[in-house]
């Protein structure tokens, strides 16, 4: 019990040295419209509610969360369309223009999530897209936008562990554990090292009258050698553009 307590204490000391980093609140107000409903998926009241919600989540996360709905993207890929719209309308917070854009194209049934700036360090577009696509497929566009904003805000405001501290923390934890186990080992005065197993057998306690080796059976498994095959994935693609865009697109 004492050993378990000392081990837990060492782990807690190790974890306490990993310093969390929190996002700071933005100083400036957002001037851009964050919900652009060109496909007319929402009523006026819903559009206002969602835009206010996106605004609140954006301020909380120190980044701009944009939603763009369109009827058609023409012959342009969803990734290029979303990234160009983000850049052309000067979205993003700070020098790196941190933010995310969600594109919903009704005619081609394309959905694209694209990050810009430092948001990719916390938000992975494919994970966001995978979680909101079922709601888009069901026609629940309102909840899909709410879910998108909530997920982005959650990822951006979650504590970020500083990985620079982890090696130092592990080293300190190892040294503490080494000292504790060395002290425990030194206190075990009654235990001496034995070089063979005969020391643990009582005299005359075991006598073999007969010794025999009997072969019972053999079992052989045959495993076919795997052949090389291609994996197309299906369900979306990931894309990195020149600059700081990282996007993931697919169908809904």
pLDDT at 67 over 80: yes
Q: Which domain holds residue 59?
A: 24-160+237-251
What is the pLDDT at residue 12?
58
User: Does residue 27 register a pLDDT over 50?
Assistant: no
pLDDT class of 157 with cuts at 50, 70, 90: confident
Compute the distance between CA of residue 141 and CA of residue 178 in angstroms, rounded to an integer. 57
The values of phi and psi at residue 220, to 5°, are -125, 125
**How does residue 30 score in pLDDT terms, banded at 50, 70 and 90?**
very low
> What's 71's domain CATH number?
3.10.310.50
Among 44, 141, 63, 56, which Cα is nearest to 101's?
Answer: 63
Residue 71 has pLDDT above 90, yes or no: yes
For a pLDDT cut of 70, what percent of the chain falls above it? 60
- Per-residue pLDDT of 190-223, as tens digits, reads 666 666 666 666 776 666 677 777 767 676 667 6
Residue 37 lies in a domain: yes
Based on the structure, what is the number of domains in the chain?
Answer: 1
Does residue 122 fall inside a structural domain? yes
- pLDDT score recorded for residue 25: 40
Please report whether residue 204 resides in a domain: no
Q: What does pLDDT average to over the chain? A: 78
Confidence of residue 231 (pLDDT cuts 50, 70, 90): very low
- State the pLDDT confidence band at 181, using cuts at 50, 70 and 90: confident
Q: What is the pLDDT of residue 244?
A: 83
Give the pLDDT score at 9.
57
**Could you tell me the pTM of the whole model?**
0.60
Q: In the prediction, which pLDDT does 16 show?
A: 53
Q: 77-129, pLDDT tens digit by residue?
A: 999 999 999 999 999 988 899 999 999 999 999 999 999 998 988 999 999 99
Contacts of 89 (CB under 8 A, 6+ apart): 32
36 in a structural domain:
yes
Residue 180: pLDDT band with limits 50, 70, 90? confident
Per-residue pLDDT at 60: 86
Of 157-161, 171-175, 218-222, 229-233, the least confident? 229-233
Task: Say if residue 28's pLDDT is above 60.
Answer: no
């Amino acid at each position: 019990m004492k050993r378990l307590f000392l081990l837990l204490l060492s782990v807690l000391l190790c974890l306490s040295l990993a310093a969390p980093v929190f996002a700071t609140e933005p100083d400036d107000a957002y001037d851009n419209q964050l919900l652009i409903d060109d496909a007319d998926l929402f009523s006026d009241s819903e559009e206002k509610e969602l835009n206010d919600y996106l605004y609140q989540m954006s301020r909380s996360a120190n980044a701009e969360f944009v939603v763009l709905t369109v009827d058609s993207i023409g012959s342009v890929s969803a990734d290029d369309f979303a990234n160009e719209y983000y850049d052309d309308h000067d979205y993003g917070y700070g020098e790196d223009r941190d933010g995310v854009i969600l594109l919903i194209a009704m005619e081609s049934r394309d959905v694209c999530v694209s990050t810009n700036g430092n948001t990719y360090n916390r938000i992975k577009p494919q994970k966001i897209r995978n979680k909101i696509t079922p709601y888009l497929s069901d026609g629940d566009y309102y909840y899909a936008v709410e879910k998108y904003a909530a997920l982005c805000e959650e990822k951006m405001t979650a504590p970020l562990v500083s990985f620079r501290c982890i090696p130092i923390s592990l080293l300190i934890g190892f040294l503490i554990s080494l000292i504790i186990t060395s002290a425990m080992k030194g206190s075990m005065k009654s235990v001496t090292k034995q070089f063979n197993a005969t020391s643990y057998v009582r005299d005359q306690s075991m006598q073999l009258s007969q010794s025999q080796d009997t072969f019972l059976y053999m079992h052989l498994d045959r495993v076919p050698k795997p052949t090389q095959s291609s994996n197309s994935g299906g369900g979306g693609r990931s894309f990195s553009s020149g600059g700081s865009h990282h996007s993931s697109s697919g169908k809904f």
